Each structure stands twice: as structure tokens, then as C-alpha cells.
Structure 1
């Protein structure tokens, strides 16, 4: 039977998904036992005495993230080794047994409070796989244990914006693999933190498909519901030294939401993409990586291709054994923030005059340059191809164009578009760029261009396109 295009455009983000999407860019903090052992995946047999950062400064973590332009922090509260960064009542394998803070510390609380103090949102990563828990592999018993620990995180640390659940499912001490109670876990999050999205192995946010920062040319947020079921039952038991661990997108999963794909689906859902990638080659700090920190230029490109490719960016920044973000990472992140603010701090199209290809829609065309997210333009019902022309008043130098659809009210509709520039009135129009989907945000990276007029030609859409914003920026 398939999902019709009429049905697809009725699918919109939930309020929690929309609030998450608008965060755009936030930090992953991988810090824990692995920081002190040099491993990426611990065994669960590590001595808690090893956890003893000498100069821990979570305010520095949050300051660096904020200055980079990030809006939140997700902390690895428990990784696969089972060591808890809070004094869990359900295991001794935690900071309670560590020399740090004399066994009285609670790193989750410190990070949550530092985020609140600086205006960033706080999220939690809790590994379903636990290589220390003796009940892992005894599915009913371990599911109770996991959900009790999750309850601690959801009830003791204020508002949580994201619960990040990866799909790792290796063997326990008894040689068995666990059957996770995903549905029970989801109910728990919905009850205790109704505003939190559940990411990756969850119903709200999906993994982009790789850990290398690669994005699809066409990233659809409306996809077959079967994709969510696939994520939920994912069992990723690959080891960290496996070359396939940081696997890339393949041709087979490049197309997730085209008309052809939806026509074969029983049902479709809003299931947007998150790109997770580390600033270093590995997720936990390793001094051998100090000279392999991504450059600010590389991070700008990563931001523009992920956030500007209808995804969110989750950038991992691993603190070192002191308990600080390394000076090299911090310097690069500060430079990233400077570059993003310099580029996107001023919209050259703000308040510019706009004309529509359908004259009766000229009055609402100005919504694309009014700076508001709750207004939008669309052509008459049933019109799938349309044009907008923005007059900047005089020739302007720019190299970035930002497009945004009105997804919260009308879903994702644009399938293809072209951008044309005209130096000044009477000059020939020149093709600047062309693309496919827009969704929440599309950033077009152009060569340095001088033009007074910019034309957006929507060459393909679902029933009727919408546009909430057309912004013009310069990175120079």
C-alpha cells in the first residue's frame, strides 16, 4: 500500500523533537574509567581506585563548550565498563569507591550544575551494556537494575534534554547477551522527563549511520517507521579496534525517505538525524592523540554539513586525566565559536524585499527575511514549483545561503532547488548552487559571490513547499 505524499507532509516533529532540533550543536563528554586506563572499551574489572582526576574543572568544560557555540552537554554517566560517575545506590562500582573527593563525589551533579549555571542544557548517556554488573545476561534482573539506575539519573539532576542510548550488546560475565527492555525504558523516560528526547536506540532521534561526520546529500526526517524498529533491536558488539567500528555511509543507506522509499513503507514517522563525531580520533582521551585534534576549519565544515544538512551535531570533547579539556582542544573550540559568530552573527538578507513567482503571495514572501521562526511563505495550494527573488538593495559579498522550512507546522516538503545570483539589475542570472532537501536547515556553501539579487527556484516539492527563512551570510 505504501505511504502517500499527502500522508508524508502531515508528519511533523513533536514539541520535544522541535526543541531538540533547535539546539543544533551540543557536546558529548566521554570521561570515566577509560580515561585512566587508556582503553576505549573497558573490561568492567577495573579498580575504582584508578579514577582520580588531579585537577578536575567541570566549569572549564562547560565554558569551552559554550564559547564554541554549543547549547548543551551529554555526559557518559556510565560506559560499557559499568563504572558510574554518580554514587549509585545499586552498585559499588562507582565514584563512591574511588579516591576522588574522598569517595564523596558526584560528577554527574557537578556537570549538571555547571551547565545550569552557564545556561546550557544537560543530557545523560547510560550504556545499556554493562561489563561489570553480575546480572547482565539475566535479562529480567538486569533490566530492573538498568532502569533503577536510569531512574536515579532522571530524578536527581534536574531537567534532562536527552537520554542517549547506544546499541552496544556484548557478553556479560556469564557469557550471555542481554535482551533489553526498550519499551519499559522508554516509558520510564516519558514519565520522569517528558521533555527529553531519546536518541539513537530510541523513538525520537536516529543515528546518522557513522561516527566519521559524514552526512547524506538528502537527509529526510520523514522515514519508514521500520527504521526505528531497526535501531531499537540493534546489537553492536564490534570492538573498538575493529576498522569497521567507525563505519561510513554506504550506497544502500543513502536514500532513507524518497518517494520511492515511502511508497514501499507501511507507515512513516518523524525521525530526524544526529551526527556524532569526536574532535579527536578516539572517544576517550589518549595523549597520543594530542597532535590529531581537528582544526577549527574542519569543525566549521562539519557544522555546516551536519546542522546545515538537516541534522544535529553532537561533537565529542574528551577531558584528559587531570579532568580538564586539553589546551589544544580548548583553543580550537574557541576559534570555532569565533568563526561561527563571525559568519552567522549578521544576516545580510534581514528585512530585504522579496518577490514571489505567484504575485498574490508577495505579501507573505517577506516572511522569509523577517527573522521569525513562526512565520513562513508558501505558494498557492497544489503548486510544487515556485520562485522567490530577494533584493539586497545593493551588491553584497557573501558565500553562505541558509534555507529553513516551516517543519513544525507543515513537515518536510522541498525535494530540489536552485540558487541563482544577479550582480545588479539587468545583469545575467548565474547559477550559484543546487541541492535537494532542506528540512530544518540547509546551509549552501558557495564561492565568494557578489550579487544584489538572489533567486531561489524550488524545482521539486511535495504538494506545496514552505520556507520560513532565507538567510545570506559571509564567512570572510
Structure 2
């Protein structure tokens, strides 16, 4: 029982997974009756009359997201309390029985339309656990109910890039536990929104394993097929809101895709990682956290470790009781966007001359790693697992960031690499890394160099490289 290196190298993303990965950075919006009760988890017995944001403006949410450089937004359409932010035909526990918009409102529609107008992609979070619905715990009946609600969300609000499920599975109002029909949920999504990824409790995007912003030093997108069931197994699901689950970091799961792992399994799949955390300690808004917004340095580090560590970055932004993202959060998001844009605005290697130790053929020359296009790439002949790319920058530059990208349409190949800078006549190592994947941001102490060399020490079957970019994060600061 094992997967060969060549087999693992040939596992590739589906089109929907590739489009999702290219988004890189997007928002979670946690907003429901919890915002008005000052809770993280609602009980399901809250009156819809509590929901009354007085200044709600979905366009303000979208503008805040875009100021940070985000490409999408996922709305918590129904959390564990069962309150629906759209006027569902299958329950009265919705915005239609709230005073907001005189009971005529549809928050899902407002957010979807604000996203569409601004060119932001729209996604939905729907909790399978429903602490309000009487059918919950009567598994066949509730599964029909839940599929019907999914169909409403999937057919009435335009294109959806993501359906985000968590695995929480506590008791219902009748004291019973529900058995989720995940396959039925997936079928309706594939039927109605075939381009949407199904995340976390789903086959397309994998939860990183914690809510604390922890990232692995080597994040493989090619992992054991059994991982697709991890979060949907009820015994592993979150059952109590005790604060400890959000801090859980499974150090025993640090290695998910090395050669040692491949030797112990009989099937691997493309199942990339998403890192989700909140801009504040809580997921929903609490006024006591207005002064606890993550610092600019914290958020910058998170961005570079997640997007730059072969994962995506899902950052939660909780609107307040007004229905607005708080001024402190908005200010920090704008600062983050400005810092990221400045640090990665000027690619010092654009168009630079690059020579490779080996090249497969004319269509895969080394020059493609600096041509700025996503459709070309370099690779050596099949079976060549070690290679070097030497870049001539044409002049001495200062740099503290290098961005590397594999052509993941051909799989994830690079296992270990290093960067070297030429100082005088001597090559000196400035960075060592384990994987590249979709994107790897190499951060190192600022150096001055005219030539930079990428040495690929280990790869699977043969490596590919789509981009080799060089930045000075201080250049535009």
C-alpha cells in the first residue's frame, strides 16, 4: 500500500479548485441575531424581532473587503441558531419576521448584488446544525428541509463561488442528534452551482485544522484521500463553544503529504488548504473587542504565511449592530491593502534573463518564469528531479521577498529548494524552503544582489515553475 512519486505528481486540481486558488484572499462575514445578543453561538430560541440593523449597507462591506485586496466574500446565511438571512419559504425563523426593512428585506440578496456590482465573488456559509428547526434530529425529514434551503440559496442569488460547511453537530431542540446526508448536499450544489467549491466539510477545499491562523511549514495540496471525511465525521465535530476548539492546532497532523505519508496510503487527492481566522478575537461583533482588532503587522504576517504558503486566506469581518463593519476594522483593512500593494507592486525581476540547468523543449524555456503570464512555464525533461534557474537582474538590487509559483495545472512537484544570491564571486544561501505549490512567498533579510539562483534539490518526477518574482518590500513604502 503506497502511492508512487510519479502518481502523486500527476494529481491535479479541478477547474473550480484552480479558480478558487487564484482568488487567494477573501472575507467571511459573520452576522445574525448573535450580533444583537452578544453571543458567539445562538440557542435557536431568539426572537426574529431582535434582528434590526439600523444602518446596514452591504456596499460598505464590499468596499472594506476590496480596500484590503480581497477577491470575494462569504456570508453566514444561516448559523447554528437557525435564523435565516433570507426569507426562506421553509421556516418563519427568518428576516421576514424581523423589523428590519419592515419584514421585506433579504440580506443574502443585498450582499450578493453588492458583490456583483463591485466585481467581488459571492459565497455562502450554511450551518447544517439548526438549533431552532423542530425537524432537526429527525434525520430524513431534516435532510429534505436542508436541501430545500440549499436550493433556495443556490438558485436565487446568481453565481456562487463557494459553499462553506462546518461540521458542528450538536443536539436539536428535541434533544436529538442529526445524521447529515452530505452526499445529497453535495449533489444539489453540483447540480445548481457546478463551479462552486465545497469547503471544509466538502470535497474541494480543506480546513487547515485550526482557527488561530496557524500555518504549516510545508502545506501540500496533494494529501491522503481519507482527509476528505475528517471534518464530516460527527465524532470529530465541534460540540461545545468552550473557546478551546478555536485554539486547537493539531501538531500531529503537521505532515500531510511528504514521501513518508505517500508510503503509508493507497490514494491521494487534490485537496488544498484554507486558513480561516477573524480580525478580532470573536467571530461575531462584540463592542468589548473594538480595541482588539489584529495589528497591521499581524495581518501582514498572516497574509504572507497563508497566501504565500500554498493556502488561501479567509479573514472574518463581523459587522456591528448598525450593520456596518466597524471603523477600526475598516481602517486596518485599508492599511493592510496599502501595505500589500506597496510591497508587491514592483517586480524587480520582470523580464529578467533567466538560464536553466535543463529545459524540456522550446515551449518550456526558462524565460517564461519572468514573462508575467499565467499560461507559460518552465520545466526540465521528465525524470529530471533536480534543477537550477539563474536570474540576471541586470543591476544590483535590494530585495527581501521572492515569490515562486509552480504551474499547478500540472500538479504540485517541488519538495525542497533554496535561493542563493551572488555576493562578489560567492553564492550565498539567502532562503531555504520545502514546498512551493500555487505560491510561496520567501521572506528573508534584505540583501543586495545582481544575480539570484533558485536551486531545486528535490521534486517529484520533474518540477515546473510559472513565476520567479523579486521584491523589495520597502521600495514603495
Q: Identify the TM-score tier after normalising by the shorter chain.
A: over 0.9
Query: 433, 436, 450: which one pairs with 1:435?
Result: 433
Aligned to 1:216: 216
Aligned to 1:84: 84
Q: Do the aligned partners of 2:359 and 2:365 also contact (CA within 8 Å) in 1?
A: no
Aligned to 1:249: 249
For the residue of structure 1 that corresponds to 2:42, the secondary structure is coil
| 2: CA distance, partners of 1:450 / 1:91 | 64
| 1: CA distance, partners of 2:173 / 2:219 | 40
Between stretches 373-382 and 120-129, larger displacement belongs to: 373-382
| 1: CA distance, partners of 2:322 / 2:404 | 42
| 1: CA distance, partners of 2:4 / 2:382 | 17
Q: Which ranges of structure 1 fall in alignment gaps of 5 or more residues?
A: none
Aligned to 2:397: 396
For the residue of structure 1 that corresponds to 2:442, the secondary structure is strand
Between stretches 351-360 and 218-227, larger displacement belongs to: 351-360
Pairwise CA distance, 1:359: 6.9
Aligned to 2:118: 118
For the residue of structure 2 that corresponds to 1:231, the secondary structure is coil
Residue 385 (str. 1) matches residue 383 (str. 2):
no
| 1: CA distance, partners of 2:244 / 2:188 | 33
Residue 313 (str. 1) matches residue 328 (str. 2):
no
Number of residues of Structure 1 aligned to a counterpart in Structure 2? 472
Residues 226 and 421 of structure 1: CA distance in aligned 2, closer, same or farther (over 3 Å): same
| 1: CA distance, partners of 2:209 / 2:473 | 29
Aligned to 1:364: 365
Residue-by-residue CA offset, 1:321-362 (whole Å, 9 max, x unaligned): 000000000000001110111111221111000011137769
- Give RMSD over aligned pairs: 1.2
Note the 1:173-184 alignment, pairs <5 A: 173-184=173-184
Q: Do the aligned partners of 1:381 and 1:463 also contact (CA within 8 Å) in 2?
A: yes
Residue-by-residue CA offset, 1:391-431 (whole Å, 9 max, x unaligned): 110011111100100111x20000000011114xx431111
| 1: CA distance, partners of 2:170 / 2:72 | 30
Q: Do the aligned partners of 1:214 and 1:248 also contact (CA within 8 Å) in 2?
A: no
Residues 243 and 110 of structure 1: CA distance in aligned 2, closer, same or farther (over 3 Å): closer
For the residue of structure 1 that corresponds to 2:230, the secondary structure is helix
| 2: CA distance, partners of 1:245 / 1:238 | 9
Note the 1:62-141 alignment, pairs <5 A: 62-141=62-141
Pairwise CA distance, 1:232: 2.6
| 2: CA distance, partners of 1:356 / 1:412 | 20
For the residue of structure 1 that corresponds to 2:469, the secondary structure is strand
Note the 1:272-283 alignment, pairs <5 A: 272-283=272-283
For the residue of structure 2 that corresponds to 1:87, the secondary structure is coil
For the residue of structure 1 that corresponds to 2:228, the secondary structure is helix
TM-score normalised by length of structure 2: 0.97
Q: Do the aligned partners of 1:373 and 1:468 also contact (CA within 8 Å) in 2?
A: yes
For the residue of structure 2 that corresponds to 1:348, the secondary structure is coil
Pairwise CA distance, 1:69: 0.1
Residue 407 (str. 1) matches residue 408 (str. 2):
yes
| 2: CA distance, partners of 1:202 / 1:127 | 13
Aligned to 1:157: 157
Residue 331 (str. 1) matches residue 331 (str. 2):
yes
Q: Do the aligned partners of 2:125 and 2:165 also contact (CA within 8 Å) in 1?
A: yes
Between stretches 15-24 and 257-266, larger displacement belongs to: 257-266
Query: 435, 444, 447: which one pairs with 1:446?
Result: 444
Aligned to 1:455: 453
| 2: CA distance, partners of 1:277 / 1:474 | 28
Residue 192 (str. 1) matches residue 203 (str. 2):
no
| 2: CA distance, partners of 1:264 / 1:317 | 40
Q: Do the aligned partners of 1:139 and 1:180 also contact (CA within 8 Å) in 2?
A: yes
TM-score normalised by length of structure 1: 0.97
Aligned to 1:16: 16
Note the 1:337-376 alignment, pairs <5 A: 337-358=337-358, 364-376=365-377
Residue-by-residue CA offset, 1:66-122 (whole Å, 9 max, x unaligned): 111000000000000000000000011000000000000000000000001111000
Aligned to 1:167: 167
Runs of 4+ in 1 over 3 A off after TM superposition: 359-363
Q: Do the aligned partners of 1:28 and 1:73 also contact (CA within 8 Å) in 2?
A: yes
| 1: CA distance, partners of 2:401 / 2:416 | 18
For the residue of structure 2 that corresponds to 1:438, the secondary structure is coil
